Amino acid sequence: MKLGGKARDVDSFVDQLKSEGEKVTSSDNMTHNKTTNNTPDIDMEPIHIVMSEEIVLHAGRDGGLQNMEIQGILKLRITDSDSGFIKIQVENTDTRPIQIQTHPNVDRELWKTKGQIGMKMNNKPFPHNTDVGVLKWRFHTVEDSFVPLSINCWPQDNGSGGCDVNIEYNLENITMELNEVVITIPLALGSPSPLINECEGTLDFTTRGIPDNFFPVCVSFTSSLPYCGLKVLGVVGNTDGAAVNFSQETLLKTNTYEIN
């Protein structure tokens, strides 16, 4: 299912839940969801750039972010040995305290002054036929306002040997578009399939168990948009500064996204 883009609000997300069905996994079979890269194949140029990010998030069941970390890397793959004499122009529009680190063989002054990724020795090409990580970044926070997708799970004892469970979803960062969103809620061992009573802006169901049975709630998703504000603007040749054709792909995915 997809969250964001032209349908960023909760109702659109819930409509997709209706049509595709809730994913609810019993606690004895539940594993942390690891998202795979299902991005479509793209036509790769001799110069191909991959920007990838992973998010780790831990939040409390009573509210409040405990820890969130984004780790990103920019990888370069050159398949033509004559195409290695280049510089990559990168724009950083992020105002958050992101830690950025260049590869030891990358010219740090060039990065600091011009936002370009190039070799320290201008007459030396980037390696070819291998994936080379040339730039890394990291963002760490405990501020709730930076959470991309908030999940609130409210299980309450109904006095009949079961729980009434209410789940709320909200895409907090409306500039993001999340794909393949999966929310996994554990159930008590041997519990029957939950009874879905209402699905308008929130998800409500009733099933057997006690409140502690419904945690941790695990979330997985992907996005073709990065979380941090880094963007490749172009690639130029070392000698003449002329623009060079390149291809690129971007993937954000969850490593751990857990409410406990």
Tell me: pLDDT of 110 over 60.
Answer: yes
pLDDT on residue 119: 97
Q: Please give the share of the chain, as a percent, with pLDDT higher than 70.
A: 80
Count other C-beta atoms under 10 Å from residue 130's C-beta. 11
pLDDT confidence of residue 1: 58
Q: What are phi and psi for residue 73, nearest 5 degrees?
A: -145, 140
Q: What is the pLDDT of residues 119-150, one digit of tens each?
A: 999 899 999 999 999 999 999 999 999 999 99
**Chain Cα centroid distance, residue 241:** 34
Residue 191's SS3 state is: coil
CB 179 within 8 A of CB 222: yes
Where do the DSSP E strands lie in 93-161?
A: 99-102, 116-117, 131-141, 149-157
pLDDT tens by residue, 21-52: 444 344 444 444 444 445 457 789 999 999 99
Domain ranges of the chain: 43-144+223-259
CATH of domain 43-144+223-259: 2.60.40.1170
CB 156 within 8 A of CB 149: no
The Cβ of residue 15 has, within 10 Å, a number of other Cβ atoms equal to: 15
**Interval 167-172 mean pLDDT:** 88
106 in helix, strand or coil?
strand
pLDDT in tens, 45-103: 999 999 999 999 999 998 899 999 999 999 999 999 999 999 999 999 999 999 999 99
Check residue 11 and give its pLDDT. Answer: 45
